[in-house]
Amino acid sequence: MKLSFSTLACPDWKFPEIIAIASASGYDGIELRFVENEDSLWKLSTFRGKQLASTKRALSNQGLSIPCLDTSCRFHSPDPAERARWLDEGERMADLAYALSAPGLRVFGDTVQPGADRDSTRTWIADCMHILADRITSSGVEVWLETHGDFAGASETASILAEAGSLRVGVVWDPANCFIESNEQPQVGASTLGARIRHVHCKDLIRNQSGWKPVLTGSGNFPLAQIQSALRQLSYDRFLSFEWEKKWHPEIEDARVALPQFVNWFRENWTEENSRP
């Protein structure tokens, strides 16, 4: 298994800073979400023209890859024009994913909107995934649905993929989302989604009076060991991506603390020799 982290951990950083901490901390890749507080990454000069070539060289020089390019695309709107807008955004982001040799593009379902029903929303999401996958098929980039929102449960996600009816769709499995939204244990989610899992988010949580809060890895009470066991049963060998949500929880520790701490925790707890009974 290879390690990456989401740039939710450092959403306002410039790309050279992101590369530097990835390399120094021992990561294999960077999951791109926000850079310089921008989520439509194709707008940034870092990822355009001559600077894109420099960005790719900087990644290569440090032995880093982009395992997943995250979009903000949500396909749950009852408004066809709104869904079309997100499809266009998906295409632009897919062009960047191709340029960066990223194998997949993360999208959301996401939530049943006021006045809509669950079945119609599921169909809108599935149709959009199918359309987007078809539009970008020549790039080789896949469309990956994150387990998130009202459709976070593995069975819900699997049903959307089945309705999408495309071989070029997969799953970004976030066991913590599944646990919070639908009380789904990681082993259940992994066995349900199986080989459709293309990318995995990892984070630790602790429950307080206001709900679940992110905490440094290993200091919470989320069943991380279940994720390890489930991924081994699947012989999963893609990326495990640390999702430190500093963007949404500004009060948590800085990326300079959390990112290297995750790698150290992984090495101490998830390497083969340290996790045998």
Quote the pTM value. 0.96
The parent domain of residue 230 ranges over 2-274
CATH code for the domain in which residue 100 is found = 3.20.20.150
209: Cβ–Cβ under 8 A, 6 or more apart, which residues? none
3-state percent helix, strand, coil for the chain, nearest multiple of 5: 50, 20, 30
Q: How many domains does one find in the chain?
A: 1
228: Cβ–Cβ under 8 A, 6 or more apart, which residues? 269, 270, 275
- pLDDT tens by residue, the chain, 277 residues: 999 999 999 999 999 999 999 999 999 999 999 999 999 999 999 999 999 999 999 999 999 999 999 999 999 999 999 999 999 999 999 999 999 999 999 999 999 999 999 999 999 999 999 999 999 999 999 999 999 999 999 999 999 999 999 999 999 999 999 999 888 999 999 999 999 999 999 999 998 888 889 999 999 999 999 999 999 999 999 999 999 999 999 999 999 999 999 999 999 998 754 444 4
